[in-house]
Structure 1
Amino acid sequence: MNLYAKLKARAAAGRPVRVGVIGAGKFGSMFLSQGPRTPGLHIVGIADLDVNRARASCARVDWPAERYAARSFAEAMASGSTFITDDAEALIATGGMDVIVEATGNPGAGIRHALLCCKHGRHIVMVNVEADALAGPLLARHAAAAGIVYSFAYGDQPALIAEIVDWARTAGLEVICAGKGTKYLPAYHQSTPETVWGHYGFSPEEVAGGDFNAQMFNSFLDGTKSALEMAAVANGCDLEPAADGLSFPPCGKDDLPTILRPRADGGILPHKGTVEVVSSLERDGRPVFRDLRWGVYATFEAPSDYVKQCFAQYGLKTDSTGRYATMYKPYHLIGLELGISIASAALRGEATGSTQGFRGDVVATAKRDLKPGEKLDGEGGFMVYGKLMPASLSLAHGGLPIGLAHNVVLKNPVAGGQPVRWADVTFDETQQAVKVRREMESLFRAADSAGQKAPAAA
């Protein structure tokens, strides 16, 4: 509750929290709009492979040209302005940098940047949920060993869900289910970058006038992004996904405690302590009443009759038994809220949610029948979507993570709706992302074989 006071103190002392942003897309741009309005924050540098796009993003969020006119990091440090570069490694290595925001959305880049932050001692806010789902359990261990904070990005759903889960558990309540809302129909799993805008209802004029990426938006629609975010939540909050993944039940705010309770009590959950995403659409396409499309939630259980009575006395919406209740947040503002993670890491040494173990994984799953010789086009593309499953099942089946299902060639046919396995593709063992992921799989597979739980990140 005192982050703002701490930031003002840093500003008054002339010691702002120095921030580097990697990736000037939608999320990065939303943070850039707020960074200069936050006392005690100095965005020293922005790294993007396309420096012209980064400059355009600054202009789009109403930065005056002189704010991003620095010609070097040294000039930016001295003047309080920002240097734009295509060299992310140089940004991370810049002396005096406190926090790096990784917002590229590229899993391989995210892994590389996280390891560089460990090397140079920079806290990292991992907006890049693709990288976290792919290798977060191992990256978090490296970060702990390096003495840096590895954090979810506040404003994005995993951090907001983790916050509610932490609130419930700290209050002595058992979390039964946690997750978010989205727009979902089963047919969306087959959506492609060519069909995505029609599903969203965006006009060509809207798409042309904004910073929209068809493949990225399609990853939200086809279920991949939901799977990635729920893997992050499962791994950060010690929750176990259902064996058959997410079911996306239609569910409004008032029905959360009724639907998201165990099957034995009339709900849909296979077990307590899991994750789920609720749909804002009924299966026939009608809108759900009081939907939670933009929000997050956690369902919890009264541990005693006394607590159940308290739920009723203070107006909590519960199921018919009065035992299960839900706390939810109806909206999230993604990059507009990111400063909370940055301030928390730099001023408190705390993450706003962080990967702890390997409970959930996201496996590439065929959108249609795939043939040998075809080259996969990755998250949000035409060929595969990401499906959530327990990490133990993914390891046992040799599932190919969605984060590595790009530019790899199929050796075997894969039927539509079936998972793609490592054995089905030709991949480059020398790629850093592949090496890190295989190392992580070996670590957890060995722990499972020994009947042990791999040590959590400190």
Structure 2
Amino acid sequence: MGYSAALRRRTEQTGRPIRVGVVGAGQMGSGLIAQICQTPGMTVAAVADIVPEKAVAALENAGLTDIVNAGSKLDAAHCAVAEERPVALSDGLMLPELDLDIVLEVSGVPEIAALIAYTCITKKMDVALMTVEADITVGPLLSRMANAGDSVYTICRGDEPVECLKLVEYAEDLGLTVISAGKGKNNPNRPHSVPADNEAEAARKNMNPRMLTEFTDGTKTQLEMAALSNATGFPVEVEGMHGREVNVAELAEQLIPVTDGGFLESDGPVVEYVTGDVAPGVFVIVKSESDVVTHELDYLKLGKGPYYLFYRPWHIASIEAPLSIAEAVLNRRPDFQSTTVTTEVVARAKSALESGTVLEGMGGDHYYGWAVPAEKARREKLVPIGLLNSATLTASKGTDEFLTYNDLQLDESRPLVAMRRMQDTLVAKGVI
């Protein structure tokens, strides 16, 4: 049974659609709200944004009426949900208090996303994240908490890590051996790219220059592939990954062991990204270990074995997110969790940084992300990139140098830092 049929049945049985609360009414959040409202069997019951008028506008643009702007008034929000009137709020932490089925976080801010997820899980409410940066930082902790209780924690369908994981699962279900898995990147890395370099392009794309810089400096790709690594347990073969220019037609010839003509030093499986014509798609390279199966796959024109390409040429972000809502609420299963600590994304200086510098967040002037084995990050005390916003350097750093715990002062009162400290302790104890 597909989700649409199951959602119709659930609505008939319960007398109401799945009630979704959304945190964040920016560009992505607004599109997501509209998409949910187009999905039979779902409705957006509440939207929280620091500017509640933006939440009202997002609900109106999705075609909803009779909207209540409750601001910070929880009692008014309770009444609105009970009366089946969509409600706008000023604080996402109010959503787990309401009679909702799931909270969907699309703030784009790791600190907010992690705190929303943590609060939902402690309130026994399902929660889905669109902010992969939060999952990279504390995802294993949140997954363990949710899985030990009565809620579902998941990263949403539609982004590359999740869609690539689905290809991995498909290949493994067929009994094929995964050699490499990853995504296409739209452009080569420019690690020292800063917002000032991207202002014109950001204006053309109606984007914040810092958001665009997180893509151009490679941080976003490092984060996404590290998330895939932690969901599958597949490592990166080299720090930062190879990142070579490889087109779709060459993937099954290049992302294989060097002994068979590719450039991978290992037999896999590994996580990787490429430039070329692969973006916005995701891929998995598999190997057939059976001569009979190889013959059959060749006959079916999948390629010339024993290596084959499974390729999905698109990912459609917020459009696919309702699939994860349905999977969580109907089937009580997550689409994507970071269940291992295999890879960390740490920070390298974009330029010489002086002691006393208060660090900006990702996509700023100060650092870019770099994927490394988790063992190296622990051994060398490299700081997870998600913790660095507003940290103060206590030592000068040269261009491309790694930032370590010895180089800076973190604000230990931040919930994200506290959650990460807890996760690190559990990892050290072997619990995660």
Cα-to-partner distance string for 1:252-276 (whole Å, 9 max, x where unaligned): 1111111111223222223201111
- Give 1:254's aligned residue: 249
Change (3 A) 1:255 1:429: same
Q: Which moved more, 1:24-33 or 1:40-49?
A: 24-33
**Contact persistence 1:242–1:389 (CA under 8 A):** no
Aligned to 2:399, which of 395, 416, 421?
416
Q: Which amino acid aligns with 1:407?
A: S
TM-score by length of 1: 0.88
Question: How far is the alpha carbon of 1:41 from its aligned partner?
Answer: 0.6
State the Cα distance separating 1:108 from its structure 2 match. 1.6
Please give the alpha-carbon distance, in whole angstroms, between the structure 2 residues aligned to 1:64 and 1:19: 16
Picking from 290, 294, 299, the partner of 2:285 is 299
Equivalence for 2:193: 191
Contact 1:33 1:336 in 2 (8 A): no
Q: Is residue 2:7 matched to residue 1:7?
A: yes
**Other-structure match for 2:274:** 278
Measure the CA separation in 1 of the matches of 2:307 and 2:84.
51
How far, CA to CA, are the matches of 1:155 and 1:32 in structure 2? 14
C-alpha contact (below 8 Å) 2:210/2:363 kept by paired residues = yes
1:224 lines up with 2:219 in the alignment: yes
- Equivalent residues of 2:235, 2:342 under 8 A apart: yes
Question: Secondary structure, in 3 states, of the residue corresponding to 2:22?
Answer: strand
**1:327 paired to 2:331:** no
- In the other structure, the counterpart of 2:73 is none
Deviation at 1:54, TM superposition (A): 2.6
Whether 1:429 and 2:428 are equivalent positions in the alignment is: no
Counterpart secondary structure, 1:377: coil
Between the aligned partners of 2:289 and 2:219, the Cα distance in structure 1 is 35
1:177 correspondence with 2:176: no
User: Structure 1: how far apart are the matches of 2:320 and 2:176?
Assistant: 27
Please say if 1:365 is aligned against 2:348. yes
* Paired positions, count: 425
Which one-letter code corresponds to 2:288 in the other structure?
A
Matches within 5 A, 1:99-248: 99-186=102-189, 188-198=190-200, 201=201, 204=203, 206-207=204-205, 210=206, 212-248=207-243
- Shifted more, 349-358 versus 261-270: the winner is 261-270
The alignment yields a C-alpha RMSD, in angstroms, of 1.8
Residues in 2 aligned to 1:147 and 1:269: alpha-carbon distance in whole angstroms: 42
Task: Provide the TM-score with structure 2 as the length reference.
Answer: 0.94
Partner residue of 2:370 out of 382, 387, 399: 387
Map of 1:34 onto structure 2: 35
Residues 434-456 of structure 1: per-residue CA shift (max 9 Å, x gap): 12112222322343xxxxxx54x
The aligned amino acid for 2:155 is: F
Give the direction of change, closer, same or farther, for the CA distance of 1:125–1:65 in structure 2 (3 Å limit). Answer: closer
CA distance in 1 between counterparts of 2:40 and 2:288 reads 41
Which one of 389, 396, 399 corresponds to residue 382 of structure 2?
A: 399
| Structure 2 portions without partners, runs of 5+ | 71-75
Taking the aligned partners of 2:173 and 2:37, their CA distance within structure 1 comes to 34
SS at match of 1:97: coil
Matches within 5 A, 1:264-275: 264-271=259-266, 272-275=268-271
- Of residues 85, 88, 111, the one that matches 2:89 is 85
CA, structure 1 residues 408+389, in 2 after alignment: closer, same or farther (shift >3 Å)?
A: same
Matched, 1:66 2:62: no
- 1:5 is displaced (CA, Å) by 0.4
- Mapped to 2, the partners of 1:69 and 1:336 lie a distance apart of 26
Q: Aligned partners of 1:93 and 1:274: how far apart in 2?
A: 41
**Structure 1 unaligned runs (5+)?**
281-290, 448-453
Q: Partner amino acid for 1:372?
A: S
Alpha-carbon offset, residue 7 of structure 1:
0.8
